[in-house]
Amino acid sequence: MRSFEELVAEAESAEVSGWGFGWLDGRATEERPPWGYSGLLAEKLRRAASALDIDTGGGEVLAEAAVFPPRMVVTEGWAPNAEHARALLGPRGVDVVESSDGPRPFSDGAFDLVTSRHPVRPDWSEIARVLAPGGRYFAQHVGAASAFELIEHFLGPLPEQRKGRDAHAEAAAAESAGLVIDDLRITRCRMEFFDVGAVVWILRKCVWWVPGFTAAAYEPQLRELDRRMRAGQPFIATSARHLIEASKPRG
């Protein structure tokens, strides 16, 4: 294995825009949820007349669908990701709106399908507003305490933050906004990191995990991980995901 300094320097200079994770191939793994979100999403898009994908990232997940509705719109709040999404999805007729306000730029009842993979913060009242009567929300959300083994390695115990993103609380909030929960599935998946560069890269990409992260600021914690990994112990964490599908009543 290369030196600590070489691994960190490589990870610090690597590209992190978009929402692909290919840079981690051979350096980290994450078990995938059992339901196969991309395949389910593709089928729903094929049947829709108009769809909005919120927090689309670089558009990589949406781009896996072979067929888009006649009207396909995405939102993304981070400018580098929005630029990536325009390059990837624009040639297929997708309208990319640079916005961190989710559905807010759109009119009431504008879409019969609203989707998202890992939305930052679902605004249920806005989602309900832009859905047409009979329309559906279909998404995969990050669940409670996802990757907190890694986050707490750097920040220490976060008992209150572990309670956020609870699947049942989100479902209740959706119902309070007037939606009907049709499906809710919850899973936890194993994550493994094999070198310290993988950790630096993921913390640069998922900036909300350890706010203000730099390798220099957290060098002691990184060196501790590096020692363990060189001894043949990958760092193990657990991701949390839930699949949620909701509908807007017609009457």
Q: How many domains does the chain have?
A: 1
Domain membership of residue 218 as a residue range: 4-247
Inter-residue contact 84 to 58 (CB < 8 Å): yes
| pTM (two decimals) | 0.89
Give dist(CA 46, CA 57) in Å, integer.
21
Give dist(CA 43, CA 48) in Å, integer.
9
**Tens of each residue's pLDDT in the chain, 251 residues:** 899 999 999 999 999 987 789 999 999 999 999 999 999 999 999 999 999 999 999 999 999 999 999 999 999 998 989 999 999 999 999 999 998 877 878 999 999 999 999 998 899 999 999 999 999 999 999 999 999 999 999 999 999 999 999 999 999 999 999 999 999 999 999 999 999 999 999 999 999 999 999 999 999 999 999 999 999 999 999 999 999 999 999 97
Nearest by Cα to 194 from 21, 50, 30, 18: 30
State the CATH number of the domain containing residue 201. Answer: 3.40.50.150
Cβ atoms within 10 Å of 134's Cβ, excluding its own: 12
3-state secondary structure of 192: strand
